[in-house]
Amino acid sequence: MDIGVDEDKDSLTIENIIFAGSGHNKCIICRCEVHGGLVVMPKPARLDFLVLKLMYAPHGVRNCTNHLSNNRLLPDVEVNMENRQTRIAKLKPSIILQLFNDLLGLLQEASSAARLDFMDPCLANEDYMAWTGWNKQQFEDMFTLVSPHIRSSCNRYEPQIPVYLPKGQKQHTTKEANEARLVTKVRWTVESYHARLKKWRFFSDRIENQSLPKL
């Protein structure tokens, strides 16, 4: 960003930044006339406009609500450059200082936020493609299909370390057996089958090998 000093007007000229205009009758982005959907552009959106589009929008300008999400500028909005004067931004030093402070605050907010949040409206299609291989719409469709079947971590299986039998105790309690890794669902099925067989006296005792052909 190249900055030059205009000594006559005591202002700084920013060569790479375009002044977006200060009118209140049109949307600063799409240049639509005033209607019920126009709002005063929030400060976070104006900072996004400066960083993403290299355009400075002063306080008080208006924009359509469909360009915003939670007071942030959507990254994929198209700026209408027709019938717009592309003047280089000339700002007072006090405004430049305020912009730097606001941008530093924005960076601090971003550094304390989640590293990757797919609910962030600032993520563009390119970000979704880089992280998932899907565009934003495809990711939202897949999330809608999968989310009802995702279990919360609070009701998942909890692994337990096997407990030793105390002295004088012949077997674990039902609760201890259920919580131990040694007892699985398959083992429960086997034990249940054995219990049914051992209802007969012949099967409840040890079976000698010579008796096997007679079974």
- Cα 51 from Cα 88, distance rounded (Å): 15
In this predicted structure, the answer to whether residue 66 has a pLDDT above a threshold of 50 is yes
- Cα 44 from Cα 106, distance rounded (Å): 8
User: Are 46 and 54 contacting, i.e. CB atoms less than 8 angstroms apart?
Assistant: no
- Cα 76 from Cα 15, distance rounded (Å): 24
* Residue 132: band (very low, low, confident or very high) from pLDDT cuts 50, 70, 90: confident
Q: How close are the terminal C-alpha atoms of the chain, in Å?
A: 93
pLDDT score at 183: 53
pLDDT score at 98: 86
Lowest mean pLDDT among 18-27, 31-40, 67-76, 157-166: 157-166
156 phi, psi to nearest 5 deg? -85, 170
Q: What is the CA radius of gyration of the chain?
A: 35
Token pair for 25: 């009758």
Query: Which tens digit of pLDDT belongs to each residue from 117-126?
Result: 777 777 778 8
pLDDT score at 7: 46
Q: Where are the domains of the chain?
A: 3-112, 158-204
pLDDT score at 152: 65
**What would the mean pLDDT of 155-170 be, rounded to a whole number?**
72
| pTM beyond 0.85, yes or no | no
Give the residues across from 68 on adjacent strands.
73
DSSP letter at 12 equals E
**What would the mean pLDDT of 86-97 be, rounded to a whole number?**
81
In this predicted structure, the answer to whether residue 199 has a pLDDT above a threshold of 50 is yes
**Which residues fall within 8 angstroms of residue 74, CB to CB, at 6 or more apart?**
67, 68, 121, 122
Q: Residue 139: helix, strand or coil by DSSP?
A: helix
- Cα 128 from Cα 136, distance rounded (Å): 6
C-alpha 176: how far from its chain's center? 40
Closest CA to 64 of 46, 43, 44, 38: 38
